[in-house]
Amino acid sequence: MKIILASQSPRRRELLERMGITDFEVIPARGEEIAIRAFGPDQLVEELSRRKCAEVAAGRPEDLVIAADTMVAVNNRVLGKPRTEDDAARMLATLSGRLHFVYTGVTVARGERMLTQHEMTSVRFRTLTQADIIRYIATGEPMDKAGAYGIQGYGSVLVEGISGDYYNVMGLPVCRLARMLVRFGVDPLALAAEKERTT
């Protein structure tokens, strides 16, 4: 059995390795992310992660597939990845001085078995000036991230505080995922301990 990450996100690859899972293959899902209006953000990230996982798992039924989808929501309005710099500026202005929520849906599948869950973390931004927004966008960091910021990068200076799983805001709730993987017979701590014994 191989472990497959159905994501091209470098942050998710990094977090999987931090969990002690270093021997895995990356096969990004190709399906388009389509917002389903009837779903709240928690249901939406679960459904999108499930679709990504099912797409990749269909071609690898003997392997264990991990997929995830992350979204930012403020007042139940979902903020995806910005399409333009103006779009990023609007998102950052919306988040300025406010509490928002980061949702990540995670699906793990092997063969006919599939498990989907989600994690929610609350994040509060400090009040941003127009100059703050312009300078942050000039770093290029907001353009490939849900909500137009990355908490692990320059965006860290925008965040006053969080409640919940920090890694969830990066795109992969590692504590929840670890518990899910154990149910499929993969214990990240056991893998990490074995690696340390053999190095």
Tell me whether residue 69 is one of the annotated catalytic residues: yes
Question: How much is the pLDDT for 102?
Answer: 97
Tell me the mean pLDDT in the region 20-43. 82
Domains of the chain from N-terminus onward: 3-197 (3.90.950.10)
Nearest alpha carbon to residue 103 among 73, 148, 82, 143? 73
Question: How much is the pLDDT for 76?
Answer: 78
pLDDT above 80 (res 34): no
Nearest alpha carbon to residue 98 among 63, 70, 73, 132? 73
**CA 97, CA 45: separation in Å to the nearest integer?**
25
Residue pLDDT, tens place only, 124-161? 999 999 999 999 999 999 998 989 999 999 999 999 99
Catalytic residue (one of 23, 63, 69, 144): 69
Name the helix (H) or strand (E) containing 116.
strand 113-125
Q: Which of 27-31, 101-105, 148-152 has the lowest mean pLDDT?
A: 27-31
**CA 28, CA 137: separation in Å to the nearest integer?**
27
Nearest alpha carbon to residue 7 among 120, 149, 171, 143? 171
| Element counts in the chain: helices (H) and strands (E) | 7, 7
Tell me the mean pLDDT in the region 91-102. 97
Question: How much is the pLDDT for 37?
Answer: 66
Residue pLDDT, tens place only, 41-85? 999 999 999 999 999 999 999 999 999 999 999 987 889 889 999
Tell me the mean pLDDT in the region 33-46. 79
